Structure 1
Amino acid sequence: MPKYIMWSTYCDNVVEKRAPYRQAHLDGLAQQKAAGVLITIGPTKDLTQCFGIYEADAEAIVRQLIESDPYWQNGIWTEYDVKEWIQAI
């Protein structure tokens, strides 16, 4: 099954702005992980970007998951990019 990487950027003052949406965001990620679609995800230490690895039948599935996330819908993630990834090792 294809793997995809996702890079997103966070809004300014992310720690304060994400608070109302954080639990719903984490719950959704946990469901994706349990379903085997999400491999891993997390922010950069400086909280400016987020990196994720997904495994899905199509890029459109990954984009749908990202765009239905509370962080995307509420402007916590300000932009994102998805690329199909070839895992070498």
Structure 2
Amino acid sequence: MPKYVMWGSYCEDVLEKRVPHRQAHLDGLAAQKESGVLITIGPTKDLTKVFGIYEAEDEATVRQLVEADPYWKNGVWTEYFIKEWIPAF
């Protein structure tokens, strides 16, 4: 199954803005991980970017997951892009 890399950006006031959406965000990611579609995801240390790796049938599936996330719906993530990834090792 294809793998996809997702890079995104956080809003400037991420620590405050994410608070009311954080648990729903983490619960959703845990469900994605359990289902096998999410390999890993997390912020950069400076909390400006998010990076994730997904394994899905197609890019549209990954886009649906990202756009259903409370962080996207509530402006915590402000932009994202997805590229199909071919792991060498």
TM-score (norm 2): 0.99
Structure 2 Cα separation of the partners of residues 26 and 58 of structure 1? 23
Structure 2 Cα separation of the partners of residues 68 and 60 of structure 1? 12
Q: How far does residue 42 in structure 1 lie from its aligned partner after superposition? A: 0.3
Q: How does 1:7-86 map to 2 (within 5 A)?
A: 7-86=7-86
Structure 2 runs not aligned, ≥5 long: none
Structure 2 Cα separation of the partners of residues 7 and 15 of structure 1? 19
Query: What per-residue deviation string (whole Å, max 9, x for no partner) do you get for residues 30-56 of structure 1?
Result: 000000000000000000000000000
Number of aligned pairs? 89
- Equivalent position amino acid for 1:22 in 2: R
Say which SS state the counterpart of residue 75 (structure 1) adopts: coil
Runs of 4+ in 1 over 2 A off after TM superposition: none
Structure 1 runs not aligned, ≥5 long: none
Structure 2 Cα separation of the partners of residues 53 and 45 of structure 1? 17
The CA RMSD over aligned residues, in Å, is 0.3
TM-score (norm 1): 0.99
Q: Percent identity, aligned pairs only? A: 73
